[in-house]
Amino acid sequence: MSTADQSPAARRRGRRPAGQDTRAALLTAARDVFTESGYEGATVRAIAARAGVDAAMVNHWFGGKEGLFAQAVLKLPFDPQIMVTTLLEGGLDGLGARVVRQFVTTWDATSGGTFPALVRSLASHDQAAAGLRDFLVKHILGHIVDRIQADEPHLRTNLCASQLIGIGMARYVAKFDPFASADVETLVAAIGPTLQRYLTGDLGLTDQP
Amino acid sequence: MSTADQSPAARRRGRRPAGQDTRAALLTAARDVFTESGYEGATVRAIAARAGVDAAMVNHWFGGKEGLFAQAVLKLPFDPQIMVTTLLEGGLDGLGARVVRQFVTTWDATSGGTFPALVRSLASHDQAAAGLRDFLVKHILGHIVDRIQADEPHLRTNLCASQLIGIGMARYVAKFDPFASADVETLVAAIGPTLQRYLTGDLGLTDQP
């Protein structure tokens, strides 16, 4: 991991006010810049400049642009880079089940957290929605599919996103019964094979180029 | 089909103003009563009374409460009863592919139509959302699963709903690329097996009672 004197925790102990101010300023600046420019258009440099801090602080506090977006805009209850790394460590066997288990346990931990707000954002037509779309597909699922090196990688990320968003809709937004109250392993057993096929299986596209 | 002198078309030819007034009054009354009482709580009798017409007019113009809800509140581009009947006529083989094809072609025909509005409604916490939830799960997918007589019918309807809503989110709301522009048969090939498994397959629930 990081050395002790460079960690956010160490900084927090040593000079909490300045550090927390930097972090808060970056979050505020990030929300503005991502909203104005979308995920792709926003640069770490522009966000840091808006916050009046050095661009290195983005890596220091958030691990980079993805982590900053995840915390500032999506308010995700997890670090996407760590999540992807952990999922891939187990290899391809059972990856679909692990993705479903990770998705459900993470969101369950905050009772759905910001998921309904994310959905409302996706259903609107603002820049944040475009940023969210790029982020989910390219920067979370894209990382996973890149490692698998299957055919049709973009369609595979999209298919996974469609089922994962559907899980969130059914469990946290529409709250279908029994889906909303089902234990995690029931959903993993039922939906894991779907994600596994979307990630590594035959998509049946025999007529495709 | 219906006899000529009882069809809406015949009525429209014969006495269009009164008929159209009845239909419009029912739509307005239905929106109010469904919003106040939810799908389950609303009765055909209450809606007809609010509209000042005979309850038989609901069956005449909308085929019943489901059809009225579909048109008045959901503004669906199809008649749910006809859709379910048609899907089931083909038997269980390939049912998953037919459900996906029906869902995508129907919504494609109106470029997503009211789907984003439905999602915003689901993400809100109003009575309409509860009505929508009951309607989708119990009265569309429920009809299909009832005929299949598999184990865990409620979980199966929920699983189907999660993937179908995910399709709508990916294609019409978030507009993922290439999902939003993929031809229908690509999605049928990729997602049909998912729906087939959710409807008729082994859900892997070996530890369940």
Q: How far apart are CA A58 and CA A103, in angstroms?
A: 26
In the block, residue with structure tokens 């991502």 = A34
Q: How far is B48 from chain A (nearest CA, A)?
A: 29
Does B155 contact A178 at a Cβ distance shorter than 8 Å? yes
Rounded to 5 degrees, φ, ψ at B28 are -65, -45
Q: What is the DSSP letter of B93?
A: T
Number of H helices, E strands in chain A: 11, 0
Q: A84-113: per-residue pLDDT in tens? A: 888 888 899 999 999 999 999 988 987 777
- Tell me the average pLDDT across B121-126: 68
Q: B35-80: per-residue pLDDT in tens? A: 788 777 889 999 999 999 999 999 999 888 888 888 887 777 677 7
Of A123, A154, A182, nearest to B173 by CB-CB distance is: A123
Q: Which residues of A touch B175 (CB under 8 A)?
A: 133
Angle at A74 between CA A69 and CA A80, to 5 degrees: 65
DSSP per-residue string spanning B107-168: HHTTTTTTHHHHHHHHHS-SHHHHHHHHIIIIIIIHHHHHHHT-SSHHHHHHHHHHHHHHHH
For each of the domains in chain B, give its residue range(s) and CATH number, in order of start. Answer: 4-72 (1.10.10.60), 80-200 (1.10.357.10)
On average, the pLDDT of chain A sits at 83
Q: How far apart are CA A91 and CA A89, in angstroms?
A: 6
Residue B13 has pLDDT above 50, yes or no: no
Closest C-alpha among A104, A145, A130 to residue B173: A130
Contacts of A13 (CB under 8 A, 6+ apart): none
Cα nearest neighbour of B195 on chain A:
A194
Task: Give Cα separations from A190 to A166, A195, B93 (angstroms).
Answer: 14, 10, 20
Does B185 contact A207 at a Cβ distance shorter than 8 Å? yes
On average, the pLDDT of chain B sits at 83
Q: Which residues of B touch A209 (CB under 8 A)?
A: none
Residue A15 has pLDDT above 90, yes or no: no
Q: How far is A62 from chain B (nearest CA, A)?
A: 26
Question: What share of chain B in percent tops pLDDT 70?
Answer: 86
Question: What share of chain A in percent tops pLDDT 90?
Answer: 41
Which of A 116-135 lie inside 8 A of B, CB atoms? 116, 119-120, 122-123, 129, 132-133
Does B169 contact A170 at a Cβ distance shorter than 8 Å? no
